[in-house]
């Protein structure tokens, strides 16, 4: 006996997509080495850790250009196992490139990279924060009062200097 069911176009598209891409990524030729990366930050820097087992420092390049961190390298094939004409290779090898956008708050000139125990650690320090300049805000009338007080103070100090000179001259005249 035949059963009727409602046709689901989206379900059908999903089934066809799964069927289409089922074999990609499982064949040796279709596999591409792309190292897993962890990115985290603290108050002083941003850190990028990439797992690069079997990759020597000579085969890794780290660049920062236009606020983009790029990690390039090559994982070379170590050895092939031949047994009776049979070739077996499970590890992935080849060239890789990973790029990450950086915020403007980092100092690209002071990037450090270290590769040890198969883990590449890139430290991107933050720029020192420039403290904003504090500007005192006064009411318009207060500013004029301060300006006029300053002018009075300057006028008074000039008058005081002239009086001191005159009294000094009088004292010298009395001494003679």
Q: What average pLDDT score do residues 151-162 get?
A: 56
Q: What are the tens digits of pLDDT across the range 116-138?
A: 999 999 999 998 875 677 888 88
Q: Terminus-to-terminus CA distance in the chain, angstroms?
A: 143
Q: What pLDDT is attached to residue 141? A: 66
Sign of CA dihedral 114, 117, 120, 124: negative
**Cβ–Cβ under 8 Å, residues 92 and 32:** yes
Residue 63 token pair = 């660049």
Per-residue pLDDT for 76 more than 70? yes
Cα Rg of the chain, angstroms? 38
Per-residue pLDDT for 26 more than 50? no
How many Å apart are CA 156 and CA 151, to the nearest integer?
A: 8
Per-residue pLDDT for 113 more than 80? yes
Q: Which residues touch 126 (CB under 8 Å, ≥6 apart)?
A: 43, 44, 45, 46, 105, 106, 107
CATH number given to 30-125: 2.60.40.790
Per-residue pLDDT for 79 more than 50? yes
How many Å apart are CA 96 and CA 61, to the nearest integer?
A: 10
| Phi, psi (deg, nearest 5) at residue 152 | -65, -40
How many Å apart are CA 140 and CA 134, to the nearest integer?
A: 18
Q: What are the tens digits of pLDDT across the range 42-52?
A: 888 999 999 99
Residue 151 token pair = 């002018």
3-class secondary-structure state, position 48: strand
Q: What pLDDT is attached to residue 112? A: 95
The percentage of the chain sitting over the pLDDT mark of 70, rounded to a whole number, equals 62
How many Å apart are CA 41 and CA 38, to the nearest integer?
A: 10
Band (pLDDT 50/70/90 cuts) for residue 111 is very high
DSSP β-bridge partners for residue 62: 71
Opening angle at CA 130, ends 129 and 135, nearest 5: 140
Q: What are the tens digits of pLDDT across the range 52-71?
A: 988 889 999 999 998 899 99
């Amino acid at each position: 006996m035949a059963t009727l069911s409602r046709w689901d176009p989206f379900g059908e598209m999903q089934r066809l997509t799964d069927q289409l891409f089922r074999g990609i990524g499982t064949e040796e030729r279709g596999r591409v080495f792309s190292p897993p990366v962890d990115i985290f930050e603290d108050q002083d820097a941003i850190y990028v850790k990439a797992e690069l087992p079997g990759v020597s420092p000579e085969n890794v390049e780290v660049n920062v250009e236009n606020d983009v961190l790029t990690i390039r390298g090559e994982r070379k094939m170590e050895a092939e196992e031949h047994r009776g004409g049979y070739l077996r290779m499970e590890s992935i090898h080849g060239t890789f490139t990973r790029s990450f956008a950086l915020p403007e708050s980092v100092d690209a000139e002071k990037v450090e990279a270290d590769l040890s125990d198969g883990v590449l650690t890139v430290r991107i320090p933050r720029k020192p924060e420039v403290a904003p300049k504090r500007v005192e805000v006064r009411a318009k009338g207060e500013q004029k009062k301060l300006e006029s007080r300053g002018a009075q103070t300057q006028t008074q100090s000039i008058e005081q200097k002239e009086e001191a000179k005159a009294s000094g001259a009088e004292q010298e005249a009395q001494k003679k």
